[in-house]
Amino acid sequence: MTDYQAGKTVVVDKPFGWTSFDVVNKIRWNLKQKLGVKNIKVGHAGTLDPLATGLLILCIGKDTKKIDQYMPGLKTYTGTILLGKTTPSYDLETEFDDVFETNHIDSGLLNKSKLALTGIIHQKPPVFSAKQIDGKRAYEFARAGKEIEMKTVQVEITEFTIDDSRFPEIDFEITCSKGTYIRSIAYDFGKLLNSGGTLIALRRIKSGDFSIENALSPEEIIHRIQAETAF
């Protein structure tokens, strides 16, 4: 049987609706049951929002020491931005709160706006995010209806490609640095278009040297743990 305490790194395909900690807790619980231990270290290298799917690097046992090593790698995402509408969370976690015109948007404006969001940029994280503000998560203030000022952060977008064949839904692929909020990219993209933008789908397909092609579902990982199958 795999010596999980000695260290194991697993690439997980996080399901829609799960938090990253849901994945960690599910795998940790099954490992404890299988190994008959009171505790085993399990952590992840880079949070995914509950409404996002895709690659989550899971570190078990002594491999949790590698989390800081995995975190800085470039991330690649695919997804969809809906133009003409916004929400307070910049995604579908909250209801639409404003509607904008989209008739003026053409391919030239789309490309100009995309280029403005490529390279080193400064963005504001969403208020509905896990950013720490005065010792609390920003979303705690947002859900309580309290206004807070989010400070801008510097990030780098190394690649940003779009497909407007399903306009006003814009499909995209983005490669970016650690700490980039794709929800903020969607919102800022809408503003640059003199309209609105909401992230309606997001999937992480790469993180550093790890790729979604090698990912397993939580159910597959649990099955292999129970069956004592190597992975």
**Could you give the domains of the chain?**
4-71+209-227 (3.30.2350.10), 75-207 (3.30.2350.10)
Is this structure's pTM higher than 0.75? yes
Could you list the active site residues?
Answer: 49
Interior/surface letters 208-227, b for 16+ CB within 10 angstroms, e for the rest: bebebeebbebeebbeebee
pLDDT in tens, 6-37: 999 999 999 999 999 999 999 999 999 999 99
Asked whether the beta carbons of 122 and 216 are under 8 A apart, the reply is no
pLDDT in tens, 160-191: 999 999 999 999 999 999 999 999 999 999 99
